[in-house]
Each structure stands twice: as C-alpha cells, then as structure tokens.
Chains A and B, each alone.
Chain A
Amino acid sequence: MALLQVRDLSVRFVRKQEPTVSAVDGVSFDVQAGRTVGLVGESGCGKSVTSLAIMGLLPGRGTEVSGSVRLDGDELLRLPRRELDRRRGRDMSMVFQDPLTSLNPVVPIGVQISEVMERHRGMSRRVARGEAAKLLERVGIPDPGRRLKEYSHQLSGGMRQRALIAMALACEPRVLVADEPTTALDVTIQAQILNLLRELVAETGTALIMITHDLGVVAGTCDEVNVLYAGRIVESAERHELFAGPRHPYTAGLMASVPRLDTPRGNRLAPISGSVEDNIPWEDGCAFSPRCSRALPRCSERTPEIEPIEAGRWLRCHNPIEEHARNTERPHD
C-alpha cells in the first residue's frame, strides 16, 4: 500500500450570497516512500489547495473538504485537532513558495528550527540547538552557528528557502509537501535547491509532493506527474511517458507553449487559445473544451471521466491525442 493515499479529494469554498467554488474536484493519487509526485498546472488549477487540504491547513469556516487522505492507512481528514497537531510537523511537513512570509520575522532562525524538535521529538533546548546547526549544515548553509542567531531578513532568498527546508526536515517527515519551492528564486539558486530536494528524497526515503507550474522542474524532479486543470486531474503518467507523448490536449498545449533551450530558435510558439475564464463547468462537459483544439461536440455535452489507458497512466479526455501521432501533434495557434 502506498504511504500516502489521496482518494476523491474535493474542496469547495462556500460563501454567503455567492456561488460555491469548487477548487478541487475528486483528486486521487498515491505517493510511495522515496518517490516524488508532481502536481502541475497553472494558477487556479487547484494544486495548492490540494496540498493545503492534505496538510489540513485550510480554514474550517467556509470550506468543505471531502474524500480521504490516508497516511499509512490512517485517515487524516477526520483526525481530531490535537492528533493532527501531533502529526503535522513530525510525520508530514511543508515548504512554501515564499520563505519570507513563512518564517517568523521576530524570532531567530535557530529558535524556529529547534522549536520543532523540542515539540515533536521531546529534545531539550540545548540538544535541539545542536541538531538545528547540523540541519543547517545539511541543507548547505555555511557557518550555521552564526546563522542560527540571525533573523530571516538577514538571510538571502536562497538561504531562507534552505532554512525553511531545514525546518521541514527537522523531524525527518515521511511526507514532504513542497509548494512551488523554487519559483521565487533565481535559476542558479533554484538548481541548488532542487538538487538538495533530490538528494533528500534519495537519502531519507521521504515521499515528496512537488507542486509547480514549471514543466522543466517537473521533468527534473518528479517520478510521477499529475496534470491538473480547473480542479481535476486531466492526465497522470510516469514522467518519461508523459514527456515522450502527452495524450491530453492541455498537457500537449502546455508543452508547446513554453520556449525551450533545447529546441531550434525562432519557431513561433503555439499558445493555448483563450484563458481559464473561458472554461465551462465540469458538470456540463470538459472544462477545457472551449480552449481545446481537438474539441468535439460531445466535449461540451458530456463530462469526461478519468480512465486508465495503460499501466500507471490515466486520462480524462473524449478525444485524446493518438499515441502514434503524438510526436507530430501540435495544438493550433
């Protein structure tokens, strides 16, 4: 059985006098220990809400979460608050996109890291402080003894993200959720951080959920990839399979619309037409169909279901890109 099992996870935001927003709609995936699973999509696709729901970090009021999230068989969604507090930070932890707002500006870095260990691992302050220094060294922060006493504003962006990762790792979590961990960083720093995450997964066997909009980051870090569109998974595949031949027109469209360093220059990009505002509700058909180059009449009449098409590969599409044609297929301009 998978370490983390997400089944039919849905999140709805209910507002008075406003239509209910379905942010995440029936998302299911597994994460095995030592593996990295990617959630990919553009802003508003529900990838971050999915991660917050898994971590139990969504506000209670106005939010309806349904489905199931099991860690080692234990249901997390219906865990009492105290039990959730005990496990969060210890069994599972999270790295956010913006380290400046995720760190407490008035508490030294060292205190913030050792706090986690005092709380969850019952260490004394002194022992925890020593461990914190080791952690900072582990994530590649030079001169950890000095850095422990510093505040977040004294660190550079890359170092803050490392400190945040150190904090997330303090209890050797079994599941680590990283929400756009390198989006705010420069490429040379991004390369350092991604390298660090890859090493950690390989060495500690932590399961990593990687949330990103960057297909390059996915290609370099994830084992399995789930592509989200308007709150639902539209395609899910092993990384090599997915990049060798995307079957969903949205996945293919994403890949064709980014300029790449390894393809001939000067080609016109093939963007996906329109924007997410053109979506239709999933209840009426395929949300992507108004933007889709392969849309058929039935795409706006019947909701496509997610179906297995081969081992480890799932697809939600009425008119997928054919397997043999997939290398030449390009969405329209």
Chain B
Amino acid sequence: MTETTGEPNSGSAVPDGAGAQEPADRPLVELRDLRVHFPIKRGVLLDRTVGWVYAVDGVSLRIDRGSTYGLVGESGCGKSTLGKTVLRLEKPSSGSIVLDGTDMSRVSGEPLRRMRRRMQMVFQDTLSSLDPRQSVESLLVEGLRAHGMDEGRGRTERRLRELLSAVGLPASALRRYPHEFSGGQRQRVGIARALAVEPELVVADEPVSALDVSVQAQVLNVLRDLQDEYGLTYLVIAHDLAVVRHVADRVGVMYLGGLVEEADSDELYERPLHPYTRALLSAVPVPDPEVEDSRERILLSGDLPSPADPPAGCPFQTRCPWRQPGVCDVERPEPRELGEGHRVACHYAESIRDGALPGGSAGTVE
C-alpha cells in the first residue's frame, strides 16, 4: 500500500542532530519523580494561592523504544495531565522528563519547539482538535511547514498520499474538511496529522473512547499497523482497561496523581496486586453472561478523593477494603518491586495476594 520510494527517512526513527549512536537499551522516555501541581487561586486583587491541586504527584516510569505504554485510571487521576506534561504542554513543578537523553523539563523556546517534532499527540475529541476551516491537506502540511519539512510540491504531495494510505483514507480526502468525515475517519486524520512530522513518540489520550465500538476496532488496528511499520513508541492514555490491555506492552495504573501499580501487560492483568487494580479489573463488565453471573466483584465504596486534598498516608486508603488502621492512614507506600518488573505501591500487597489479610470480603459481593 505505502509507496516505496526509497527515500531515506520516510517515517524513520532517526533523530535529527543529536547523534545516531545512543545506547540501544536507553528508554525513549524516562520520567523521574515527576510532579505537576496547579495552584488554586482566590481573590480578585491579591490573587492569593490558597492551595494546590496535586494532579501528578511523584511519577517515575520508563517507556522503551517501539513499545506501547498504557496508562489507565479513572477521571481525575492525573493521567491526561501526565500525558500533556510528557509533551511539555504543561510545565512540571519538579522532577524530570527525559526524552532520548534530553531533559525536557529544562528545555524551552526554540530548542523545545524543535524537540516537539519528535513527539506528537492524538486527541480524544477529533471535532475540536481539528480546525474546521482547514482542509485535510492544509492540516497535514501545517506541521511539515512548521518544522521545515516541506520540501517542494512534488515530494510533499507524495508524502501526504503516503500518510493517508497508511491510515486507510483515500487520497481524495486531502481536499475535504473535518466535518465531511465520520468520527472514525476523523480520528484517522488526527493520526495522520500526528505522523506527518515523523515523530518517535505519540501520546494518544483516549484515542478511541469517542468512537462507536465497531469503529474503535478499526482505529486500534490502524495504530498497531503504524507502530509495526514505523517503529513508533506510544503512550496510550485510556480509562478502558480492555482497550489498554489490547494495545499496551506495559501498563501503569494511576490513582490520585500517583502510579499505584506498574507491570507488563500480561502480568498486570493476570496477577494484579494493588487493591485498586483488583477492584478496577473486577468492575469492568465482560460481554459474557456466564462470566458476569459468576464473577466476584470488589465494590469500592465512595468516590475518588479530591486531588486538592489528598488523604494522609496511602491515597487509596479511604476506599480500600483491606485498609489497616495505624499503617495505611499514616504512611504513604512507596512503589516496591514484587517480581520481575512488577511495581506496587501498597503496604500489604503480598498478604492481600495470599489472602492472609482479613477484610476485602466486606466490600466483595457475588
């Protein structure tokens, strides 16, 4: 399908400038103790800061080249803020974001703008993230121009056709406007736009949640094919655990600004250790009545606490069925490694796994 023109850098992962001899095992993205706090302002004249929203509060993770990292969590857990901060669309309060050896948290101005070519975003709402007055051609060319990649009419046109065919749209789409497409097609345009500048990292924030299920599958398949073809690295942010399991190699579960559990996808879904992950997994409806009738659910009581006023100790302690007074409400658990690459931030992960801790059953219903 894709034109094989023999051009040197059609969608490659070769970074510009920086050098091609970086160590192979270095992750593309590394976050170290990343924090993003938003001030809560009050007052008209004085504009005092009366508190902070701890949107992202100490997240460390690595994303390997060519892999997909899935970030799951419920609304308000900070996953979208984290995604935006990785792209430096939000400024981190502290900690570092290392993209291929460069600490992005310290870059600004023109160097930052140049780095932006290497990381792109796919948004949830295609209707508001694509300018309704721009044709698809103009949407796609804009990024190329901004990064000086527009190399004459002939080559650019060829590049655009190649992009459209890669996302499964006809070449006639170039002259059309966003409103002329269905939701699924629009998301393909959004993906093509992100890929136009040959990024290495693509952050996709809820890429399919606005789409109908039959169309979701089409878009998920496109994302996978593109990754295989161009060796892309994805950070996929979603609330749908089944979608994340389907696309991600490694999964991080966020709760109230922090990563409570992280593991390779198969490991996480087969052996979830954190009570929150267990509750989440048990709550996802499965399209099979036999499973639905017989499964055990861990019903959590109450809602997510406010990220402006997180509870003391473990952030999950207010809803945890296994909460141990005197420990969980006092000390915040640090992520610990339990098994190969499986990190959990829970004081009692082992006891809960082995069923040695009373509780849990209180919130469990058949």
CB-CB under 8 A from A101, the residues of chain B are none
Q: What does DSSP make chain A's interface, helix, strand, loop or mixed?
A: helix
Chain B 233-245, CB within 8 Å of chain A: the 1/0 string? 0000001011101
- Counting contact residues on chain B (CB < 8 A from A), the size range is 35 or more
Task: Let me know if B287 and A188 touch, CB within 8 A.
Answer: no
- Tell yes or no: A174 within 8 A of B by CB: no
CB closest chain-B residue, reference A267: B246
- Tell yes or no: B220 within 8 A of A by CB: yes
- Tell yes or no: A153 within 8 A of B by CB: no
Task: Let me know if B285 and A42 touch, CB within 8 A.
Answer: no
Task: Let me know if B365 and A186 touch, CB within 8 A.
Answer: no
Contact status of A192 and B299, CB under 8 A, knowing A219-B289, A257-B214, A262-B291: yes
Task: Let me know if B292 and A220 touch, CB within 8 A.
Answer: yes
Task: Let me know if A187 and B284 touch, CB within 8 A.
Answer: yes
B346 smallest CB distance to A (angstroms): 17
A239, B285: Cα distance in complex, Å: 14
- Tell yes or no: B213 within 8 A of A by CB: yes
Find residues 175-192 in chain B having any chain A CB closer than 8 Å to their own CB.
182-185
CB-CB under 8 A from A243, the residues of chain B are 287-290
- Tell yes or no: A285 within 8 A of B by CB: no
CB-CB under 8 A from A277, the residues of chain B are 182
Residue among B75, B285, B291 facing the most chain A CB atoms (10 A cut-off) = B285
CB-CB under 8 A from A35, the residues of chain B are none
Task: Let me know if B287 and A219 touch, CB within 8 A.
Answer: yes
- Tell yes or no: A175 within 8 A of B by CB: no
State which of A188, A239, A257 has its C-beta within 8 Å of the C-beta of B279.
A188
- Tell yes or no: A189 within 8 A of B by CB: yes
Residue among A43, A142, A157, A257 facing the most chain B CB atoms (10 A cut-off) = A257
A229 smallest CB distance to B (angstroms): 10
A268, B218: Cα distance in complex, Å: 10
Find residues 229-288 in chain A having any chain B CB closer than 8 Å to their own CB.
239-240, 243, 253-262, 265-266, 268-273, 275-277
A239, B286: Cα distance in complex, Å: 13
CB closest chain-B residue, reference A195: B299
A260 smallest CB distance to B (angstroms): 6
Task: Let me know if B221 and A271 touch, CB within 8 A.
Answer: yes
CB-CB under 8 A from A256, the residues of chain B are 217
CB-CB under 8 A from A142, the residues of chain B are 302
Find residues 15-70 in chain B having any chain A CB closer than 8 Å to their own CB.
none
Select the stretch in A17-25, A82-90, A208-216 that faces chain B: A208-216
Task: Let me know if A260 and B287 touch, CB within 8 A.
Answer: yes
CB-CB under 8 A from A255, the residues of chain B are 287
State which of B239, B266, B282 has its C-beta within 8 Å of the C-beta of A186.
B239
Task: Let me know if B217 and A270 touch, CB within 8 A.
Answer: yes
Task: Let me know if B300 and A188 touch, CB within 8 A.
Answer: yes
Q: List 27 A-B contacts (CB under 8 A).
A: A42-B213, A186-B74, A187-B284, A188-B74, A188-B280, A189-B303, A191-B300, A216-B284, A219-B289, A220-B292, A243-B289, A253-B214, A255-B287, A258-B287, A259-B217, A259-B242, A261-B241, A266-B246, A268-B221, A269-B217, A269-B220, A269-B221, A271-B216, A271-B218, A273-B218, A275-B212, A276-B212
A residues with CB within 8 A of B: 42-43, 142, 156-159, 186-192, 194-195, 213-220, 239-240, 243, 253-262, 265-266, 268-273, 275-277, 333
Instruction: List 14 additional contacts besides A188-B300, A261-B241; criterion CB under 8 Å.
Output: A158-B303, A192-B299, A214-B285, A216-B286, A217-B285, A219-B287, A240-B290, A257-B213, A258-B216, A261-B284, A261-B286, A265-B246, A271-B217, A276-B182
